[in-house]
A and B are shown apart, each in its own frame.
Chain A
Amino acid sequence: MMAANPQTTAEANVRDVTAMVASRKLYSAGFITDIEADKVPPGLSEDVIRLISAKKDEPEWLLNFRLKAYRRWLTMTEPEWAHVDYQKVDYQSISYYSQPKSMKDGPQTLADVDPKLLETYKKLGIPLREQEMLAGVQNVAVDVVFDSVSVGTTFKKKLLEAGVIFCPLSEAVKNHPELVKKYLGSVVPFADNFFAALNTAVFTEGSFVLIPKGVRCPMELSTYFRINERNTGQFERTLIIAEAGSHVSYLEGCTAPQRDENQLHAAVVELVALDDAEIKYSTVQNWYPGDEDGKGGIYNFVTKRGDCRGARSKISWTQVETGSAITWKYPSCILRGDDSVGEFYSVALTNHRQQADTGTKMIHIGKRTKSTIVSKGIAAGRGQQSYRGLVRILDSAEGARNYTQCDSLLIGDQCGAHTFPYTEVRNPTATLEHEATTSKIADDQLFYCRARGIGEEEAVSMIVNGFCKDVFKELPMEFAVEAQKLLAVSLEGAVG
């Protein structure tokens, strides 16, 4: 669905999955057993971390890295500066190596799944089999894993020919330990913040990508299918390295709903771009947002950071955030290399009781570094929406430039939009521009559309999509289409 050629890849995936299931029956049985056996009791301690590390057969340095982070985490306090209000997580009640939902308690068949979720996915046009896997139904969850592997496999040959490494992080630890050791934690240090330290201590899986020197990755890499793995591991870790002159576009789709109450998702993503390299990282996040009354939903506390380490390198974040009960997320760029470029394009929508505090940090270190921030926040229902952004220009950043545009759209009169822009400029040659608007969907605009025959919900969706256009045009085509549909679904019932 997310791949370069959706039609043919989807068909190829179905074929591959069938073949995989046939050839790897043993593995699938083993997998289910593994899950039963791998469950550790709730609670976090050095023993649990040692257990995770042992199960993954990790080298000593990685275990020490985890333990160092854990010991620091014990001394840290959960951040409270964000404009969000939620019941704090009891970290001793979480199981750090298990499926979030026990197989027995989970929905046994599609009929047990919340019909609202099913309806949502039907509207999204996600096929039934995928629908089953998204809802985490027991017997299809096996499919999920196969689906995930098949995507890797389908592309593996082609990627290998290009020299691209795209594999689970745990596999990279085994096969490319020197690379992982060199880069892991080099962008987001182990004690960077409370949630990053927690992730470093307990992360279970994630992706590793390396694009070798001068290579333009022959296809878009996607974590879309892997999302179901994340249901079991709530602390994934992604590491992407683009060597000199390389180029990669990476897509992360989070269309997996969760029925559990306030599940914590604390991921870390690290990007490294060397000289002249370019990384484009796109996210469509639709974690379960909780119900109309704010019951349930994901706490999405994520640290994403890119390091433009090389001269003329470029890192571009594009995110469409429609899910989660609470979002705390600031994909950032460290513009270290001279003439490097950082971009952040964001659409965040909060409906019902959702709260989002999201934005970016652009740290200008190199000369003539340039950053662009375009943030579109939409609040409906009783949703709360905050943009929080930092533009920091260091002494060394001669001739740095930043452009920030930050717009909020309110639907109804019970929601809120807030803007917290911070700037720190230590070099007088810097140029900063900041534009901000807050608007309401005017009754005039709605009536205008309706007077042309367009129904109210379609009109709202159309107006909102227009508002988000500057961000959507940054997304790969299939993602942009999905994002538009997602906004429409997320906004249903927001008016009238």
Chain B
Amino acid sequence: MKNIESMLLEITNLHARVEEKEILKGLNLSIKPGEVHAIMGPNGSGKSTLSNVIAGREGYEVTEGTVLFDGKNLLDLEPEVRACEGIFLGFQYPVEIPGVSNITLLKAAINARRKHQGEAEIAPNDFLAWVRDRAKLVKIDPKMLSRGVNEGFSGGEKKRNEILQMLVLQPRLMILDETDSGLDIDALKVVSDGINALRGPERATVLVTHYQRLLDYVQPDYVHVLARGRIVKSGGPELAKELEEKGYGWLEAA
């Protein structure tokens, strides 16, 4: 029996479309604090749509179903409010914002959340110390902090920067949308260390990925297979290995 009270994220019968095309067709997913869920599936199965619907991106229309975060109706909230409530989306393709330094973005983000929680702005020295300390974890040179957001960053640097933002903001629910794609093995380790550093009983993680590779470093509690807009199979870490061997064909046919 599910206990709604203890759920961090509770998705029930979610239908969503992009433009006129229905992508999610009755998706159910429940996540408790402390858990790590991996969502795998073939291209076009709806993985990124799910991430974007949770984060509140425009253009993704929910036609049916509910998404509760900590008991609140998430779909009623603006994207920035969702973020302030503790949802973090690690982007598959982080954008560049020329002229806006990483440090400016981080400070605005951290203070937006504090304001939302009725707290005063963070003291500049505490903030800098906190960010520099987190930057070490993902091997980001402090000099990069004063550069424009993702401006001229390599693919790997952009992904590490996403993890840095996550470490700084300490969200309650982390959704990482193909954060592992395009990373070499060293970068993958750094990114995994960052994710693992935040693992704890009070927060949950959703890893959206194509590959088993990331799951060698970040051990999931549950693995789900998303196909044709629904979760067609769920299991433990062993399911990911099975998928690696057999591919998705056997599930899609089912």
Q: Which of A444-479 contact B (CB under 8 A)?
A: 444-445, 447-456, 458, 462-463, 465-470
Q: List 24 A-B contacts (CB under 8 A).
A: A445-B97, A448-B95, A448-B97, A449-B108, A450-B56, A451-B57, A451-B79, A451-B88, A451-B89, A452-B83, A453-B112, A453-B113, A453-B116, A454-B105, A454-B108, A462-B104, A462-B105, A462-B108, A463-B100, A466-B99, A466-B100, A466-B104, A467-B99, A468-B99
Please name the residue on chain B nearest to A441 by beta carbon: B97
| Cβ contacts under 8 Å, A463 to chain B | 97, 100
* Alpha-carbon distance A186/B105, docked complex (angstroms): 48
| Cβ contacts under 8 Å, A54 to chain B | none
Question: Does A443 touch B at the CB level, under 8 Å?
Answer: yes
> Do A449 and B55 touch (CB < 8 A)?
no
Chain A proximity of B3: nearest CB distance (Å): 29
> Do B169 and A453 touch (CB < 8 A)?
yes
| Cβ contacts under 8 Å, B89 to chain A | 451
Which residues does B use to contact A, with CB under 8 Å? 55-58, 78-80, 83-84, 88-89, 91, 94-95, 97-100, 104-105, 108-109, 112-113, 116, 148-149, 165, 169
> Do B108 and A458 touch (CB < 8 A)?
yes
The tally of residues in A whose CB lies under 8 Å from a CB in B reads: 23
| Cβ contacts under 8 Å, B112 to chain A | 452-455, 458
> Do B80 and A455 touch (CB < 8 A)?
yes
| Cβ contacts under 8 Å, A82 to chain B | none
Question: Does A436 touch B at the CB level, under 8 Å?
Answer: no
| Cβ contacts under 8 Å, B149 to chain A | 448
Please name the residue on chain A nearest to B82 by beta carbon: A451
> Do A466 and B98 touch (CB < 8 A)?
yes
| Cβ contacts under 8 Å, A453 to chain B | 80, 83-84, 109, 112-113, 116, 169
Question: Does A442 touch B at the CB level, under 8 Å?
Answer: yes
| Cβ contacts under 8 Å, B78 to chain A | 450
* Alpha-carbon distance A469/B97, docked complex (angstroms): 12
Question: Which of B83, B88, B97 has a CB less than 8 Å from the CB of A450?
Answer: B83
Question: Which of A443, A445, A452, A468 has a CB less than 8 Å from the CB of B169?
Answer: A452
Please name the residue on chain B nearest to A443 by beta carbon: B58
| Cβ contacts under 8 Å, A450 to chain B | 56, 78-80, 83
* Alpha-carbon distance A444/B58, docked complex (angstroms): 10
Please name the residue on chain A nearest to B104 by beta carbon: A462
Ranked 3 nearest A-B pairs via Cβ: A466-B99, A466-B100, A453-B83
* Alpha-carbon distance A458/B78, docked complex (angstroms): 14
Chain A proximity of B14: nearest CB distance (Å): 19
Chain B proximity of A171: nearest CB distance (Å): 43
Chain B proximity of A154: nearest CB distance (Å): 32
> Do A448 and B83 touch (CB < 8 A)?
no
Please name the residue on chain B nearest to A439 by beta carbon: B98
Please name the residue on chain A nearest to B94 by beta carbon: A448
> Do A454 and B109 touch (CB < 8 A)?
yes
Chain A proximity of B191: nearest CB distance (Å): 18
| Cβ contacts under 8 Å, B91 to chain A | 448, 451
> Do B108 and A467 touch (CB < 8 A)?
no
Question: Which of A442, A455, A465 has a CB less than 8 Å from the CB of B100?
Answer: A465
> Do B105 and A449 touch (CB < 8 A)?
yes
| Cβ contacts under 8 Å, B113 to chain A | 453
> Do B79 and A462 touch (CB < 8 A)?
no
Question: Which of B95, B100, B169 has a CB less than 8 Å from the CB of A462?
Answer: B100
Chain B proximity of A407: nearest CB distance (Å): 10
* Alpha-carbon distance A465/B97, docked complex (angstroms): 11
| Cβ contacts under 8 Å, B83 to chain A | 450-453
> Do B169 and A465 touch (CB < 8 A)?
no
Chain A proximity of B149: nearest CB distance (Å): 8
Q: Which of A398-420 contact B (CB under 8 A)?
A: none
